[in-house]
Amino acid sequence: MVSNITGGSNPQHGAEPGTQLGALEAYAAQAHGYLSVGGEQLGQLPGLLRPMVLESWLRSVRGGVDPMDDNDGRGLRGTDLQRYRDAHPTAAVMPLVDKLLLRDATSTGLIVVIADQFGRVLSVHGNPDRVQAAAEAGLREGNDLSERRVGTNAIGLVVRTGRAAWIHGPEHFLHRMHQITGAAAPVHDPDGRLVSVLMIAGGVRVARPEILALVKAAATAAEMDLLLAAVRSGQDRRTADAPLPERLGLEVIGLGQPQLTVAGERVPLSQRHAEILLLLAEHPEGLSADHLALLLDDADLDNATIRAAMSRLRSVVGPSAFGSRPYRLRVPVATDVEALRAALDSGDADSAVRLYSGPVMPRSNAPGVIDIRNELRVRLRTAVLRSGDTSVLSRWTAGAEGRDDAAAWAAYRATVDRESPLYAQIEAKIRVLDRRMGADATQMQRFDS
């Protein structure tokens, strides 16, 4: 059924300038043959693959991606995906993307894929049969298409390099994606940060330069739309009757001072206001005043205190941002907690450990926040220990929470060549931790006696 996605005609006639796709396919297929042999045969790859593709293949090999993997992995699904998608900045430009890409591309038998800044697929659009075929190849809503997870593909390359890219057939690292050609381009926010990736996928027709140009033009238009929205929102917020912003951003991981993002502008937020926003974002169904009070303080805040706090918070984010009875958000709030949880849900330990700059609101004593803090810490540490990835374990043990984590250091040591200087450094650290633990145990025995 995967062949339903391809469409198009003879691959010999759909060339990107200077490249005959038939020859490209043959060379890439030969490269897969060398890949299966491995060892010194990998030295043959530079003559068979485009430089950008070669570099991606080598990263995929080093990352342990299996080219024969036919399991598209665990992704975000159902309400978790819907919540994440609705709160993502890309939602604001979907009407424009629909106008520029979806209507024309999908009517010609191609599919359009929108992914987030990590390579996670937010949505797939097109003929139902071809969308289903794409899902079987791994282009499924909620799946992780980062290079680290599935090897070389157009979306993964854009996330990795920040530049537009196209990947044809056997240039994909995974065999199950060989019937796909994808052309993808990045979308950046007004601050220049990658927020999403647009891709047209299908058969050999997608390898034509005008398809990549179309995707790049749509991405540029989306960036302009985000910029104009930020300018308009910034102007509106300075007026007395400021309209409700379309979405908010909340950063609470590892920060002494929580940060609120409104229309692209980051402003400091008090701890109590950040606690309320985070708890409401975690409970989209809403919270009664009594329930919110219990999540904020074990001392059982009274309803008058809750009402006063909500009133002050409305003055910061807008008078219509919250409903009452129960208290609930009326605008999407994208939180770094949600992004970290999404990375963990998709099994992406590398992205998760990079997102985790420290505990969630480390100075907060709110019971509801403490629960979130502990949940993420335990889930992240478990993912790190299970990853078996040198770079992930290196980043974790370099941080405050992993610095004295004996189990993490032992897992890190297991990924390193015994003859390398790094192995000796890790071994020395483990010995220090062992001595310290022994001293602590001795002190406890003396105390107990």
What is the DSSP annotation of 184-216?
EEEEE-TTS-EEEEEEEEESGGGGSHHHHHHHH
Radius of gyration of the chain measured on its C-alpha atoms: 25
Give 244's DSSP letter: P
pLDDT at 142: 92
Could you tell me whether strands 248-251 and 333-335 are parallel, antiparallel, or unpaired per DSSP bridges? Answer: parallel
- CA nearest 89: which of 311, 267, 309, 262? 262
Q: Where do the H-state alpha helices sit in 145-288? A: 147-150, 154-161, 209-237, 271-282
Structure tokens at 282: 């975690």
pLDDT at 119: 93
pLDDT at 2: 39
Structure tokens at 262: 């409104």
217-254 tens-digit pLDDT: 899 888 888 887 776 665 444 433 445 555 688 889 98
Residues in the chain, pLDDT under 50:
1-3, 7-19, 235-242, 440-449
pLDDT at 8: 43
Classify the C-alpha dihedral 349-351-356-357 as positive or negative: positive
pLDDT at 183: 96
Tokens 């390359």, residue located = 157
Rounded-to-integer distance, Cα 68 and Cα 32, Å? 10
pLDDT at 301: 65
119-172 tens-digit pLDDT: 999 999 999 999 999 999 999 999 999 998 999 999 999 999 889 999 999 999
- CA nearest 265: which of 247, 289, 288? 247
Structure tokens at 348: 């992406």
